[in-house]
Homo-oligomer: A and B are copies of this chain.
Amino acid sequence: MGSGESSAVANETETRIGHPYAVSALPKLEEGSVGLVAPQRLVFQEGLTLASGVHLAPIEVAFETYGTLNPTRDNVVLVCHALSGGAHASGKHHPDDRKPGWWDLYIGPCKALDTERFFVVCVNVLASPYGTTSPMSTNPATGKPYRLEFPEICVADWVELERRVLEHLGIRHLHAVVGGSTGGMRAFEWAVRYPDWMDKAVVIAAPARSSPMVIALNHIQRQAILMGLEYGGEEGAQRGLALARMLAHISYLSEDALWQKFAREPHTDAEYWKVLYQIESYLEYKASTFLQRFEPYCYLYITRAMDTFDLGTTYGEGDLERALARVQVPILLVSFTSDWLFPPSGQDEAAQILRKLGKSVIHEVIDSPWGHDSFLVERVKPQLKPILKAFIEE
């Protein structure tokens, strides 16, 4: 952390004096880690009635928390993970874990989501393979994994399950809900579905409704998995998932980022139809590691939930303005210039409607070559951290 950033943190700490959420301990000036954390688990035997009307039971949920819930239970920040993320957002499970949680850059002492002040909760979504009930869970009706018998799910179902977990923890109100990508969709859905449940919402790299480009890219990814399944069974589905992940991966990057990272660098061990260039080798590598940690069936369900995300349809009978009129709290929208999956134009649409409605909205467009994934990229932190921290702590 550069000295410029340290002093910015120091200043923010000063302005914190007398702030309702200030903790009694002396404020730290340097970022720290939440350290070792334990995965947590809940089972709702009674399950949940999904937006589709189907009742799913039982439901197991994986979640994690960082920081301390204060006695008045009003220092809670809900963090919403993206497609391939999970509840493990910060710290490590074991000292020898190679990597910390997916948003360790932003969750911890003195970080953008300061765990000295806030109690941060992250809940793994339905259909994700990281501990929450998913197509890989056992269907009690058959004794076998659900696979394609798993019910259709949508972003609202994810929000409902998050709310169940919060209520179980005795939480009835959020200081903030924060999310990026599909997590940003959840944050947005929270702000519209439960407008009096929070003080503020942060939507990073996500629009108020999925674009036809997102649907198109997801369609191809799903068809790759389904084709693999049809021709090659479970192994084929894995191969299809590898294709899907490669396509998703380039949709998270950008033209500029690919030039900077790979240019036209040849691969040292070239094979004409397999890999001639480093970019190909990189995509294959990323796909192979993804196969070790994800499931084709989960991928199908989660991408379809992304596609059907449209706040206008769910809350405004097709009218986005009517849906966004439900929002009662300040919203921070953050876009990245080179994000072509969820481009700034999608957030601009929402920002313009919110402004027209007289809502409190800030739309920050961060100049970054790192595409959709910018909110996960360390080099973008100097730009994103002060924006997040100021909005959340203000």
Chain A residues near B (Cβ < 8 Å): 148, 152, 209-213, 215-217, 219-220, 222-224, 226-228, 230-232, 236, 239-240, 243, 246-247, 250, 255, 258-259, 261-264, 272-273, 275-277, 279-280, 283, 300, 304, 307-308, 310, 313, 340, 343, 345
Contacts and interface: CB of A to CB of B under 8 A. Distances in A.
B243 A236 contact: no
Given A209-B264, A262-B212, A277-B212, A247 B220 contact: yes
Contacts of A247: 220, 247
Given A219-B246, A223-B246, 16 more contacts: A148-B273, A152-B272, A209-B264, A211-B255, A211-B258, A211-B259, A212-B259, A219-B275, A220-B246, A220-B247, A224-B224, A224-B227, A255-B340, A272-B304, A277-B307, A340-B340
B223 A243 contact: yes
Given A213-B255, A216-B283, A264-B212, A231 B236 contact: yes
B216 A258 contact: yes
- Enumerate the 4 nearest inter-chain pairs by beta-carbon distance, A residue then B residue, closest first: A231-B231, A212-B258, A231-B232, A212-B279
Copies in the complex: 2
19 contacts: A209-B264, A211-B259, A212-B263, A212-B277, A213-B255, A213-B258, A215-B277, A219-B283, A220-B247, A227-B227, A227-B236, A231-B236, A247-B247, A255-B343, A264-B313, A272-B304, A273-B300, A276-B304, A276-B308
A255 B214 CA distance: 9
Contacts of A226: 273
A210 B255 contact: no
A102 B47 CA distance: 57
B222 A279 contact: no
A283 B220 CA distance: 9
Contacts of A152: 272
Nearest to A239: B227
A156 B280 CA distance: 23
Contacts of A343: 255
A272 B276 CA distance: 37
A280 B216 contact: yes
Most buried by B among A210, A217, A220, A223: A220
